[in-house]
Amino acid sequence: MRLIRFQEGRVYILFDAHSVSDATGTPQITPAHFTAEFWQARDAVTGEAPGRGASLFVRAGDQQWVLRPYRRGGLIAKVSDTRYLWTGSERSRAFREMRLTADLHSRGLPVPRPVGACVWRHAMTYEAALITTRLPGAQALADRLSEADERLLERVGATIRRFHDAGLDHVDLNARNLLVDTAERVWLIDLDRCRLRGPGKWREANLERLERSLAKFSATHAMVAIRRGYASA
């Protein structure tokens, strides 16, 4: 992985030259690649992921990418659901998530390979988008709960433990941010606002957040096997 940063006017991009080159044949990416209009004009949109961000699945050469614009939730979204306070490109949510994902990926942890992050500055605010590779055939744990056996749930717990041992505090650990691929491997996605920390109470807070998520799918019983896998990893 080779991260490259460049600026075009008030647009800032951080991308992995190898990922872009593998997909497009050239280690170049433009701000347009981070917009839905670019892919729609090329009839390259293959689907849409659930969630308020309206992430798109797009076809880039012979690869599949996920384009995710950053969107706010809660009350502040009524003012603006796309703008964030500008404090520098490196402190933007997109650049921080890109660098964190690249770091974890380089350690061999199961996160989708990051492709690039783009930030558009507007005076004191900015908008942003992130592109990662898509995991073919992967499903959210939320969609597998009705058929998930104890072995799968224990692998979920063991995977979370791997991330915790690496110091990742996932602030939105839920049943939709855990994916299961066709080989039954568990992946973790959406690292927005996440960070690396030393051991602490945040680990249990992550697990409790996941348990609350499972409750929304009437699957709190799954935490027994998840915690067993977590403890034995």
At residue 27, the 3 state secondary structure works out as: coil
Active-site annotation holder among 22, 81, 103, 172: 172
Separation of alpha carbons 136 and 146, rounded Å: 21
Residue 72 pLDDT level (bands cut at 50, 70, 90): confident
pLDDT digit string, tens, across residues 4-56: 999 999 999 999 999 999 888 888 899 999 999 999 999 999 999 876 557 99
Same domain, 30 and 99: yes
Same domain, 209 and 99: no
Same domain, 178 and 90: no
CA distances from 17 to 21, 28, 69, 133, 163 (A): 6, 7, 21, 13, 26
Number of structural domains (the chain) is: 2
Instruction: Point out the domain boundary residue: 105, 133, 161.
Output: 133
Q: Would the pTM count as exceeding 0.75?
A: yes
Instruction: Point out the domain boundary residue: 115, 133, 151.
Output: 133
Same domain, 209 and 146: yes
The one-character DSSP state at 92 is: S
Instruction: Point out the domain boundary residue: 87, 110, 133.
Output: 133
pLDDT of residue 207: 98
**Phi, psi dihedrals of residue 29, rounded to the nearest 5°:** -145, 145
Q: Is residue 156 within 8 Å of 185, Cβ to Cβ?
A: no
Domain that includes residue 203, residue range: 139-232
Same domain, 177 and 78: no
Q: Encode burial over 163-176: b for 16+ CB neighbours within 10 A, e otherwise.
A: bbeeebbbeebbbb
Same domain, 12 and 97: yes
Task: State mean pLDDT over 92-116.
Answer: 98
- Please say if 103 is a catalytic residue: no
Same domain, 128 and 100: yes
